Amino acid sequence: MSIVNGLFRVQKLMRPSVTLARCLLPATGHLSHRTISTPRGVGHQRWVTSVNRSLSTKVAEEGYHSIIRDQEKGVGSSDKHEFQAETRMLLDIVARSLYSDKEVFVRELVSNASDALEKFRFLVQSSPEGANEYAECDRALEIHIGTNKQDRQLTLQDTGIGMTREELIANLGTIARSGSKHFIEQLKESGRGSQENVQNIIGQFGVGFYSAFMVADRVDVYTRSARTGSPGLKWSSDGSGTFEIQEAEGVAIGTKIVIHLKADCREFADEDRIREVIRRYSNFVGSPIFLNGKQANQIQPIWLMEPKQVTPEQHNEFYRFVGNTFDTPRFTLHYKTDVPLSIRALLYFPEGKPGLFEMSRDADGGVALYTRKVLIQSKTENLLPKWLRFLKGVVDSEDIPLNLSRELLQNSSLIRKLRIALTNRTLRFLHDRSQKEPESYDKFYRDYGLFLKEGIVTSQEQQEKEEIAKLLRFETSREPNRTVSLPEYCQGQAEGQKDIYYLAAPNRTLAEASPYYESLKKRGIEVLFCYEAYDELVLMQLGMFLGKNLISVEKEMRRSDASSTADQDGLLEGSLLKTQIDELLPWIKQRLAGKVSNVKTTGKLDSHPCVVTVEEMAAARHFIKTQSHNMSEENRYALLQPQFEINPKHPIIKKLHKLTTSDPELAELLANQLFSNAMVGAGLVDDPRMLLTSMNDLLQKVLDKH
């Protein structure tokens, strides 16, 4: 008590501008040796810092500091409100949940308290009228937690922004939180699902304030907004369907949450249990957390430490804190630079595979932006490109002015510069990992390769696309079970090979048997095999790499006319004669009218009778898979413009030529079947069952003769 009184006395002695500066300081009370600009000007910093230091030392010496008092009391009548329907549903599920990690409610409430402190710090900082608009700006920004075993109570109190009556109704009566919204949506989709399902979803999103009802019979919230002249308020609910609000006296600025614990959750009234939970999830919260009067968190900004001095344990803890996660980081990128911008970055690559939620482009990024230890925004959009949304961590840049508004942050050229620098550094780091830890990198690539591909497709800069592309890996025609990068492929190219060839197929066997690959195989040219859906679209989007064109094998086949001219001259041994070809091509074209745009011969096939080529095979396949379902066959062919290429040396084609005169009906069935087969081979038929009827007609006709 005496220390607390002493503390306030010293604060009162400070001049107003100094006390304001005190609340602008990073709540850590740690020392910044730089001068921070405040709305009231620059200059008192060193003095304030030293006062702060002596105050915190004093607190530390005496070891006890608590603001929790049992002094709040509701006065007058109370208003009854109903929770929004979705909130009721959420509360209902949360209360009945057997979720084993109930302790996460502490993390959620501490995180809300910390947000409330940061919001206050930020508002005062960015508002020139800060000192007038807000009351008691000189109060210390802290979080206090009190346990009371006897009454089975847990209390969390912060000195942050607090809430007005309207805010109370909106914030604690409806679902504002994006995570909770997703939670409800998922739940609706899974038709409420099994208990296990519900638990997984809660674990994935967290449900914010409402998670308190996992452990509470009743929750009382006392709050007073920091805006000058705001009244104290009490919010109370048992989490069933309604909540009550009334005015209250004895309420300090900020928010105090009193949790009346359920009988089977009495463990959370135990100091040691809560200390353990704080250590696990909230150790690095940027403001001091006092548990029963003793500081319980570390609040050391480890991203500002020398990278070599941070232990793996510290990284693990910090990663769990910033990432809201249970795993450990697989890679850690911790670096600092002053050119071209001042950057202190600590970025983690998650160990776990990305969940469905992270895969969605709607998912938030996981990197917080600080400037000189002051949090500007926890999930800063645009700080990294969307495709790097799986990264967790912190970026601190002294070049970001303290009073830059969050809206301005979205479009700031500074943020753009930061993004470019961070992206380049991350790419360089991954490239390094691929060289120094190829096995770990390959595993990362298996888990997160899709994000890299998204980066190539979404990036606007060819140079950036190519930098990302260096990280891709493909098996090639040369050797099974071994992947190569694009630079390695280029190094292995024969002199004079101008292009990079790729082939999309579901697996190696189909790739090797592809008719489009036959001629390149004969020429001994290495081809990248793409087994993943979208790979070919990614390479098509990439277009070029190190000045070489990326060409699909289908395109290569279609574009080379030279050899087919040779065919048409009848130069190839065992081929149909030119006169026969001249008869056959128009005949086929007529029989396949409405389906093919052109029929020609090719010298690039050996064991296959024919293929279909289209202008851009990857785009065509994507179109067939995603958009062609409601389209007539006629329109589909009109859009695809397939070119039918036949092999004039192949026995079936030679036979076809004969049949055009000896048995035109059978010849027509055969031509149609060959075309349909080629369309299947090209991956341009979404359901091959369509072919069965015509195939049976053909078989029947052939078997008639026997």
Q: Which of 112, 564, 628, 676 binds ligand ATP (CB under 6 A)?
A: 112
Residue closest to 619 by CA, chosen among 670, 686, 684, 526: 684
- Cα 191 to Cα 188, 194, 444, distances in angstroms: 5, 9, 34
How many other C-beta atoms are found inside a 10 Å radius of the C-beta of residue 344? 22
> Which residue's CB is nearer to ligand ATP, number 130 or number 206?
206
Residue 43, annotated ligand binder?
no
Q: Which two tokens stand for residue 647?
A: 């092999």
Q: Which of 48, 93, 116, 678 binds ligand ATP (CB under 6 A)?
A: 116
> Which residue's CB is nearer to ligand ATP, number 228 or number 549?
228
At 183, the amino acid letter reads F
Three-state secondary structure call for residue 569:
coil
H-type alpha helices, 267-311: 271-281
Q: Which two tokens stand for residue 317?
A: 């803890």
Asked if 124 interacts with ligand ATP (CB under 6 A), we say: no
H-type alpha helices, 282-395: 312-323, 356-359
> Which residue's CB is nearer to ligand ATP, number 209 or number 321?
209
Q: Tell me how far apart the alpha carbons of residues 553 and 560 are, in angstroms, rounded to a whole number.
A: 11
User: What are the backbone dihedrals phi and psi of residue 38, each rounded to the nearest 5 degrees, phi first?
Assistant: -120, 165
Asked if 406 interacts with ligand ATP (CB under 6 A), we say: no
Q: Tell me how far apart the alpha carbons of residues 674 and 644 are, in angstroms, rounded to a whole number.
A: 10
Q: Which of 118, 158, 464, 554 binds ligand ATP (CB under 6 A)?
A: 158
Q: Tell me how far apart the alpha carbons of residues 327 and 682 are, in angstroms, rounded to a whole number.
A: 43
Asked if 26 interacts with ligand ATP (CB under 6 A), we say: no
Q: Tell me how far apart the alpha carbons of residues 47 and 222 are, in angstroms, rounded to a whole number.
A: 35
Q: Which two tokens stand for residue 569?
A: 């001259």
> Which residue's CB is nearer to ligand ATP, number 255 or number 672?
255
- What is the helix (H) or strand (E) element at residue 619, kind and residue range? helix 617-626
What is the closest distance, in whole angstroms, from the C-beta atom of residue 251 to ligand ATP in the complex?
A: 13
Q: In the sheet where 544-545 sits, what is the strand order?
A: 479-484, 474-476, 528-530, 499-504, 548-552, 544-545
Residue 179, annotated ligand binder?
yes
Residue closest to 25 by CA, chosen among 365, 525, 373: 373
E-only strand ranges, 72-194: 73-82, 143-148, 153-158
Q: Which of 48, 163, 322, 682 binds ligand ATP (CB under 6 A)?
A: 163
Burial 114-152 (b: 16+ CB within 10 A, else e): bbbbbebbbebbbeeebbeebbebbbbbbbbbbbbeeeb
Q: Tell me how far apart the alpha carbons of residues 472 and 288 are, in angstroms, rounded to a whole number.
A: 44
Asked if 350 interacts with ligand ATP (CB under 6 A), we say: no
Residue 178, annotated ligand binder?
yes
Asked if 225 interacts with ligand ATP (CB under 6 A), we say: no
Asked if 193 interacts with ligand ATP (CB under 6 A), we say: no
The residues, ordered by sequence, that sit 6+ positions from 100 with a Cβ below 8 Å of its Cβ are 199
What is the closest distance, in whole angstroms, from the C-beta atom of residue 349 to ligand ATP in the complex?
A: 23
> Which residue's CB is nearer to ligand ATP, number 17 or number 153?
153
Asked if 293 interacts with ligand ATP (CB under 6 A), we say: no
Residue 292, annotated ligand binder?
no
Residue 209, annotated ligand binder?
yes
Residue 208, annotated ligand binder?
yes
When CB distances to ligand ATP are compared, the closest residue is: 208
- Strands 544-545, 548-552: pairing is antiparallel
Asked if 199 interacts with ligand ATP (CB under 6 A), we say: no
What is the closest distance, in whole angstroms, from the C-beta atom of residue 208 to ligand ATP in the complex?
A: 2
Q: Tell me how far apart the alpha carbons of residues 237 and 219 are, in angstroms, rounded to a whole number.
A: 6
At 73, the amino acid letter reads K
Q: How many residues bind ligand ATP, per CB under 6 A?
A: 19
Asked if 366 interacts with ligand ATP (CB under 6 A), we say: no
Residue reference for tokens 């509470």 = 216
Asked if 171 interacts with ligand ATP (CB under 6 A), we say: yes
Q: Tell me how far apart the alpha carbons of residues 370 and 397 are, in angstroms, rounded to a whole number.
A: 6
Asked if 232 interacts with ligand ATP (CB under 6 A), we say: no
Q: Tell me how far apart the alpha carbons of residues 559 and 613 are, in angstroms, rounded to a whole number.
A: 10
> Which residue's CB is nearer to ligand ATP, number 112 or number 147?
112
Residue 171, annotated ligand binder?
yes
Distance separating the N- and C-terminal Cα atoms of the chain:
108
Q: Tell me how far apart the alpha carbons of residues 635 and 643 are, in angstroms, rounded to a whole number.
A: 16
Residue 403, annotated ligand binder?
no
Residue 250, annotated ligand binder?
no
Asked if 255 interacts with ligand ATP (CB under 6 A), we say: yes
What is the closest distance, in whole angstroms, from the C-beta atom of residue 243 to ligand ATP in the complex?
A: 13
Residue 52, annotated ligand binder?
no
Asked if 209 interacts with ligand ATP (CB under 6 A), we say: yes
> Which residue's CB is nearer to ligand ATP, number 179 or number 570?
179
Asked if 519 interacts with ligand ATP (CB under 6 A), we say: no
Asked if 176 interacts with ligand ATP (CB under 6 A), we say: yes
What is the closest distance, in whole angstroms, from the C-beta atom of residue 155 to ligand ATP in the complex?
A: 12
Asked if 282 interacts with ligand ATP (CB under 6 A), we say: no
Q: Which of 23, 113, 253, 299 binds ligand ATP (CB under 6 A)?
A: 113
Q: Which of 29, 39, 130, 160 binds ligand ATP (CB under 6 A)?
A: 160
Q: Tell me how far apart the alpha carbons of residues 432 and 421 are, in angstroms, rounded to a whole number.
A: 16
Determine the interface stretch with ligand ATP among 156-164, 276-284, 349-357, 531-539 (rule: CB under 6 A). Answer: 156-164
Asked if 570 interacts with ligand ATP (CB under 6 A), we say: no
Q: Which of 26, 74, 208, 350 binds ligand ATP (CB under 6 A)?
A: 208
What is the closest distance, in whole angstroms, from the C-beta atom of residue 112 to ligand ATP in the complex?
A: 3
> Which residue's CB is nearer to ligand ATP, number 168 or number 669?
168
- Specify binding-site residues for ATP: 108, 112, 158, 163, 171, 178-179, 204-209, 255, 406
Annotated binding-site residue numbers? 108, 112, 158, 163, 171, 178-179, 204-209, 255, 406
Contact residues: ligand ATP, CB under 6 A: 108, 112-113, 116, 158, 160-163, 171-172, 176-179, 208-210, 255
